[in-house]
Chain A
Amino acid sequence: MLAQAATIPALVTPTGRDLLGLLPELILGAAFVLLMALDAFLPSTRRSWLAVVAFISLAAAFGASMWGWFDSGSGRTLYFGAFAYDRYSMFVNAILLVSSALVVIISPQYLNRRGIHHGEYYALILASTTGMMILAGAMNLMVIFLGIELLSISLYVLSGFSRGDERSQEAALKYLLLGGFASGFLLYGMALVYGETGHTQLAQIGLALRAAQTSSVDPLVLVGVILVFIGFAFKVSAVPFHTWTPDVYQGAPTSVTTFMSVTTKVAAFAALVRVFTYTFPYVYTHWQVIVSLVAILSMLVGNIAALTQTSLKRMLAYSGIAQAGYILIGVAVDPRVALGTIGVLYYLAAYAVTNIGAFAVITVMAGRGEDLDSYSGLRGLAFRRPYVAAAMGLFLLSLGGFPPTAGFFGKFFVFAAAIKTGLTPLAIWGIVTSAVSVFYYLRVALLMYQRPAEDEREYAWSRTSLSAGIVLAATTAGTLVLGIFVFLLYNAASAAQSGLLPAIASSSG
């Protein structure tokens, strides 16, 4: 049922309004070029300046996103419908930019200590963040692909950033090959969807699906939808497309792991919600089972596999897989219920602040030349660095979903949405598996508060620097604020949800 070719608009240049709406992305793009140029001129001892430039550009992009949030002219599309200029993308931008900025703050110290402080690091972080922001705002299948590739290619390089470290090289190669594999699935799914609806614009696809709804749905469209989902599931590391996650998280330098464990997931989920909940709601009954199935598997495998890990980074990788399962619950609920999307947004923000905090502890406590990765490295931390240990304990509680922390309300909202839409078994499954998760989170917390045995070597933690203090204080405060002043973020997430484009399904309550 190839649709008749839409009238191709005459080749026109984008307007100034279009460019203005893309301001956050443009700022980061310009900063990327600037950083590459600067790196050529700066002496290698001054690399930290690059971090300052990167931070300033991230802050500027954040300011531009905030301006977009309050701009009354937002809530429209740019570039003939290919890109969304709505509060939803600004909300996601804010999470991404804050996360990147926190990573940039902790990076110089860590990279110096590992001896891998090269200038292109910051440029790559910015390029990747740009790709994520494009992904968050994409309203066209091709733009989605563009965003995914931009963020991925930068991450492939970043994963292998520790050039002398074989595991880092291996991680990069694995990520690259499997990422290419997943991109193939994604692209094939997009091709099927295009072939069946005749459109690449999300809004047009949604209308076409609505029109087709009266007749029976073509299986090929559904296969396309599922293949697109698989592409996203790879990016958010949901089971069974998660296999790369532990190896890559462990092999990559810890600051890179911090960055990608959070931002990739945020951006990919943002696009996933826009595509599935708001573009494909008319085939909801068909993909809901698949999403639920993947969610159930992710919660199960992620939590169970985390139980017997002895590496912090691998444990957090599996925990991230399980968290992806919880967030998928919010995607699986009926698109007509706003709480699902709000819950996803809340969860993403809560996950970002908590997970960055947890990884930041591992990053900033790392000793000279070696990563802080094994469980035994944390033993006794509470006696040497009481505040850092207390913060880490808080992050672990938040990951486990204890009130009054951010993580509790992330879970609360997606579970509530599931119960509201009759997916109670999914919520119960989530609660049961998070009970399992408490075991491996608290095990780490317990280690920090145990004294090392007499003959045991204590890990040589580095001193808590100012930059580390800032990041840990910010993430601690964020974890608590999102657990106590819930309305702040809830109202923002609600506003972001209400203006979400494409507005095909918004007429239904």
Chain B
Amino acid sequence: MSVDTASALVILILLFPLAGAALNAVLGPRLGRGFVNLAGTLSIGAAFVVACVILGNVIAAPAGHSAVSVRLWQWLNLGSGNLSIGMDFTLDPLSALMVMVITGVGFLIHVYSVGYMEHDPGVARFFAYMNFFIFSMLTLVLAADLIILIVGWALVALSSYLLIGFWYERASAVLAARKAFITQVIGDVALVIAAFLIFLNAHTLSLPNIFARTAAFPSGGILVNGICALLAIGAFAKSAQFPLHTWLPDAMEGPTPVSALIHAATMVTAGVYLIARFHPLFNLAPIAGGMVACVGMGTALMAGIIALSQIDIKRVIAYSTMSQIGLMIYAVGIGAYSAGMFHFATHAVFKALLFMAAGNVIHSLHDEQDIRLMGGMAARMRWTHWAFLSGSLALAGIPLWAGWFSKENLLGFGTVAGPGPAPWLLYMVGVGVNVLTGLYAFRLWATVFHGEPQTARVYAAKEARNVLLVPVVILGVLSLIVAWPLQWPVPNAVRVFSDFLSPVFAGTPAGLASEPALWIAIVALVIGTLASLLGVGAAQRMWLHREPDPAAVAARLPRALPLLSYNKFYFDELYDAAFVRPVRAAARTARRVVEPDVFDGWIAGLTDLLRGFSVDLRAYQTGFIRDYAAAFTVGAVVLVVVTAVFLSR
């Protein structure tokens, strides 16, 4: 594709959501709901059309020319070798995949939002934020300059903040929004420091130039490992990975479409994208890569355990998101970049589906989110139930559903690649995560949709209307079939997806991303599938048939385990004790002791000084011309004397 075509496509795909946001913000409140719904959804629909054209162009590009970088304009240039920031964007297979998912899934979620936010008075604000989020996310994934990427990175955090706190009259929503934002900022700082280090060594912030100058980063050295670790911290904050994961469950305070779009399908996977985008550096940093893999798998395990005992329907799905993103982070950590991206793509489909189906349930029960008060919904919400089931099968990794293809593909790499002396160890954990996934996915399904209705509300529940149902059903079908033509977990079978991305990750050394031999892959596939089936089967027995009763099983476990799970490993309490309380206490002490005695003195002194100076200056502003002329003359004489005496030597 020519540079002109690429520029036009980039401008269009960014302009549509931005225009939608502006229209909704400025005209929305005046023109009313119909206009808002139309502008909000059509802008993303148009962006999706552009995304399809981008994808077509990238596929049609001749071999070796699949990546096109365009410079829309130069933002800042201080000469060669100095700071130079361009409005640069890249169209390549990786960004094409991202924009397809963002706009495609995003469009369905926007349509769903029309129904979900039907009675909310702030719908114009909602769609303005949502469109703005899509714009920010597209900026992030298309950016070919690190500064522009950081701008997008910060803007998605801002949109996320605004949308979590959308119902700002609820204190819990405001607190959750604040928590998410503060955690994001920790990651932002790490990312910015990484950018500084990159600039100091490569003297450029343009991504293609950075990746062309990897010689500036000695392989395996402390520098490149440090940069990658900082990038990874940024990724962890964005993708809710340990230890920066606690904000994601709280973020469920936002409206459900927000959870589907931002906290499942797109923004939280930006960390995976970041590591995949910076793979030329991660390839040189095995220590940082190993750290990433361990954190990812550890988070996957931890979140899976927590998801087993949560009682809020959205929080269960949130923890499952955290767990699945952990698997993706693990994949990009061990160098299986395209496997990680593939799981991202299928996960976006089935996780958005699960959230939206859960939203339908919540809606029909008048904002009830406690699964202990549900049960028996299958008979009342037939279509939603089938769609939810399809999503759960995909999530659990049952053969032929999309999640099976991507998760087994991902774990297959784990058998041969991984950090440290025993890469097998993490793979075994991954198998355990498979069991857990089946367990929590079908615990949720069985508790919500089967068994006896627990409250009177359930009896009154009705199936959702079409605008809420159609996107869910579309995604339900996609959860089954989307992976079939793309990628199979057995080597040398269907591999359209990894071939598509291979130009991006071409430079990855063989030791990192080598595929397992056919027989290992098949054995791994069987083991993984059996683990998933085991989890699903056990869940069926325990929560559908109550034999054994899950409470009895929990009683037989060591007492600590259910407690840890239910209390989310006490991370909130830990952070509260380790950071929040000490900081508060320090602040109080400072307020009581340090400030009055130590600082107030000289700060007040300084402000008094400035104010006094300011007042003094006013005193000179007498209003009398003679004084002004005198000041003028004195100033002039001083300047002339200074010149004549001191400077004319």
Q: Which residues of A contact B (CB under 8 A)?
A: 173-174, 177-178, 181-182, 185, 217-219, 222-223, 225-227, 229-230, 234, 239-241, 243-244, 246-247, 285-287, 289-290, 293-294, 301, 304-308, 416, 436, 484-487
Which of A181, A182, A219, A487 interacts with B74 by CB under 8 Å? Answer: A487
Contact A240-B617, Cβ < 8 Å, known A222-B647, A289-B647, A290-B642: no
Q: Quick check: is B615 within 8 A (CB to CB) of the other chain?
A: yes
In the complex, which residue of chain B has the Cβ closest to the Cβ of A301? B617
A178 touches B625 (CB 8 A): yes
26 contacts between A and B (CB under 8 A): A174-B625, A182-B632, A218-B648, A219-B643, A219-B644, A222-B643, A222-B644, A222-B647, A225-B643, A227-B640, A229-B639, A230-B639, A234-B632, A241-B632, A243-B627, A243-B628, A287-B643, A289-B647, A290-B642, A294-B639, A304-B617, A308-B611, A308-B614, A486-B75, A487-B73, A487-B74
In the complex, which residue of chain A has the Cβ closest to the Cβ of B75? A486
Contacts of B629 in A (CB 8 A): 177-178, 181
A244 touches B628 (CB 8 A): yes
Which of A174, A218, A222, A230 interacts with B628 by CB under 8 Å? Answer: A174
> Which residues in chain B, 30-61, are within 8 Å of chain A measured between CB atoms?
none
Q: Quick check: is B613 within 8 A (CB to CB) of the other chain?
A: yes
Which DSSP category, helix, strand, loop or mixed, fits chain A's interface?
Answer: helix
Q: Can you list, as one digit per residue, whether each of B629-643 has a CB less than 8 Å from chain A (1) or not (0)? A: 101101110011011
B647 touches A286 (CB 8 A): yes
Which of B617, B632, B639 interacts with A226 by CB under 8 Å? Answer: B639
A178 touches B648 (CB 8 A): no
Contacts of B73 in A (CB 8 A): 485, 487
In the complex, which residue of chain A has the Cβ closest to the Cβ of B86? A487
Candidate in A241, A243, A246, A306 with the most chain B CB atoms within 10 angstroms:
A243
Q: How many whole Å from A155's CB to the nearest CB in chain B? A: 17
When chains A and B are docked, how far (Å) is the Cα of A294 from the Cα of B647? 16
In the complex, which residue of chain A has the Cβ closest to the Cβ of B621? A246
Contacts of A290 in B (CB 8 A): 639, 642-643, 647
B628 touches A178 (CB 8 A): yes
Q: How many whole Å from A223's CB to the nearest CB in chain B? A: 6
Contacts of A185 in B (CB 8 A): 636
5 shortest interchain CB distances as A-B pairs? A240-B635, A243-B628, A308-B614, A219-B648, A305-B617
When chains A and B are docked, how far (Å) is the Cα of A174 from the Cα of B625? 6
Not counting A218-B648, A290-B639, a sample of 11 additional A-B residue pairs whose C-beta atoms are within 8 angstroms of each other reads: A178-B625, A226-B643, A227-B636, A239-B635, A241-B635, A244-B628, A304-B614, A305-B614, A305-B618, A306-B614, A485-B73
Q: Is the interface on chain B under 10, 10 to 19, 20 to 34, or 35 or more residues? A: 20 to 34
Contacts of B615 in A (CB 8 A): 308
Q: How many whole Å from A497's CB to the nearest CB in chain B? A: 15
Q: Quick check: is B578 within 8 A (CB to CB) of the other chain?
A: no
When chains A and B are docked, how far (Å) is the Cα of A173 from the Cα of B632? 17
A286 touches B648 (CB 8 A): yes
**Pair count A-B, CB < 8 A:** 96
In the complex, which residue of chain B has the Cβ closest to the Cβ of A409? B76
Q: How many whole Å from A100's CB to the nearest CB in chain B? A: 28
A240 touches B623 (CB 8 A): no
In the complex, which residue of chain A has the Cβ closest to the Cβ of B642? A290
When chains A and B are docked, how far (Å) is the Cα of A431 from the Cα of B170? 40
When chains A and B are docked, how far (Å) is the Cα of A304 from the Cα of B614? 5
Contacts of B635 in A (CB 8 A): 230, 239-241
Q: How many whole Å from A149's CB to the nearest CB in chain B? A: 18
A240 touches B631 (CB 8 A): yes
When chains A and B are docked, how far (Å) is the Cα of A308 from the Cα of B634? 25
Contact A222-B75, Cβ < 8 Å, known A240-B631, A243-B628, A304-B617: no
Q: How many whole Å from A146's CB to the nearest CB in chain B? A: 23
A177 touches B648 (CB 8 A): no
Q: Can you list, as one digit per residue, whether each of B69-82 has a CB less than 8 Å from chain A (1) or not (0)? A: 00001111110000
When chains A and B are docked, how far (Å) is the Cα of A173 from the Cα of B611? 30
Q: Quick check: is B554 within 8 A (CB to CB) of the other chain?
A: no
Q: Quick check: is B610 within 8 A (CB to CB) of the other chain?
A: yes
Contacts of B628 in A (CB 8 A): 174, 178, 243-244
When chains A and B are docked, how far (Å) is the Cα of A312 from the Cα of B636? 29
Q: How many whole Å from A390's CB to the nearest CB in chain B? A: 11
In the complex, which residue of chain A has the Cβ closest to the Cβ of B626? A177
Candidate in B76, B644, B648 with the most chain A CB atoms within 10 angstroms:
B648
In the complex, which residue of chain B has the Cβ closest to the Cβ of A185? B636
When chains A and B are docked, how far (Å) is the Cα of A227 from the Cα of B648? 15
Which of B77, B623, B631 interacts with A247 by CB under 8 Å? Answer: B623
B621 touches A247 (CB 8 A): yes
Contacts of A217 in B (CB 8 A): 648
A240 touches B634 (CB 8 A): yes
Contact A222-B648, Cβ < 8 Å, known A240-B634, A243-B631, A487-B73: yes
Contacts of B648 in A (CB 8 A): 217-219, 222, 286
Contact A240-B632, Cβ < 8 Å, known A177-B625, A301-B617: yes
Contacts of A174 in B (CB 8 A): 625, 628
Q: How many whole Å from B151's CB to the nearest CB in chain A? A: 9
When chains A and B are docked, how far (Å) is the Cα of A294 from the Cα of B614? 18
In the complex, which residue of chain B has the Cβ closest to the Cβ of A404? B75
B625 touches A226 (CB 8 A): no
Candidate in A286, A304, A416 with the most chain B CB atoms within 10 angstroms:
A304
When chains A and B are docked, how far (Å) is the Cα of A244 from the Cα of B627? 10
In the complex, which residue of chain B has the Cβ closest to the Cβ of A241? B632
Contact A487-B75, Cβ < 8 Å, known A178-B629, A223-B644: yes
Contacts of B631 in A (CB 8 A): 240, 243
When chains A and B are docked, how far (Å) is the Cα of A230 from the Cα of B615? 26
When chains A and B are docked, how far (Å) is the Cα of A229 from the Cα of B73? 39
Contacts of A247 in B (CB 8 A): 621, 623
Contact A304-B644, Cβ < 8 Å, known A230-B639, A241-B632, A293-B639: no
Contacts of B76 in A (CB 8 A): 486
Contacts of A485 in B (CB 8 A): 73
A230 touches B618 (CB 8 A): no
In the complex, which residue of chain A has the Cβ closest to the Cβ of B646? A289
Q: How many whole Å from B643's CB to the nearest CB in chain A? A: 5
In the complex, which residue of chain B has the Cβ closest to the Cβ of A487? B74
Q: How many whole Å from B77's CB to the nearest CB in chain A? A: 8
Candidate in A222, A240, A286 with the most chain B CB atoms within 10 angstroms:
A240
Q: How many whole Å from A231's CB to the nearest CB in chain B? A: 10
Contacts of B623 in A (CB 8 A): 247
Candidate in A226, A227, A286 with the most chain B CB atoms within 10 angstroms:
A226
Q: How many whole Å from A180's CB to the nearest CB in chain B? A: 10
B618 touches A223 (CB 8 A): no
Contacts of B642 in A (CB 8 A): 289-290, 293
When chains A and B are docked, how far (Å) is the Cα of A230 from the Cα of B639? 9
Contact A307-B632, Cβ < 8 Å, known A219-B644, A243-B621, A290-B643: no
Q: Can you list, as one digit per residue, whether each of B3-44 has a CB less than 8 Å from chain A (1) or not (0)? A: 000000000000000000000000000000000000000000
Contacts of A219 in B (CB 8 A): 643-644, 648
Contact A307-B614, Cβ < 8 Å, known A223-B644, A234-B632, A486-B75: yes
Contacts of B640 in A (CB 8 A): 223, 226-227
Q: How many whole Å from A258's CB to the nearest CB in chain B? A: 22
Q: How many whole Å from A490's CB to the nearest CB in chain B? A: 8
In the complex, which residue of chain A has the Cβ closest to the Cβ of B628? A243
Contact A307-B611, Cβ < 8 Å, known A226-B640, A240-B635: yes
Q: How many whole Å from B60's CB to the nearest CB in chain A? A: 32
When chains A and B are docked, how far (Å) is the Cα of A416 from the Cα of B472? 54
A304 touches B613 (CB 8 A): yes
When chains A and B are docked, how far (Å) is the Cα of A484 from the Cα of B72? 12
Which of A241, A244, A294, A304 interacts with B610 by CB under 8 Å? Answer: A304
Contacts of B634 in A (CB 8 A): 240
Q: How many whole Å from A299's CB to the nearest CB in chain B? A: 13
B618 touches A181 (CB 8 A): no
In the complex, which residue of chain B has the Cβ closest to the Cβ of A413? B78
Q: Can you list, as one digit per residue, whether each of B551-591 has a CB less than 8 Å from chain A (1) or not (0)? A: 00000000000000000000000000000000000000000
When chains A and B are docked, how far (Å) is the Cα of A301 from the Cα of B620? 11
Q: How many whole Å from A244's CB to the nearest CB in chain B? A: 6
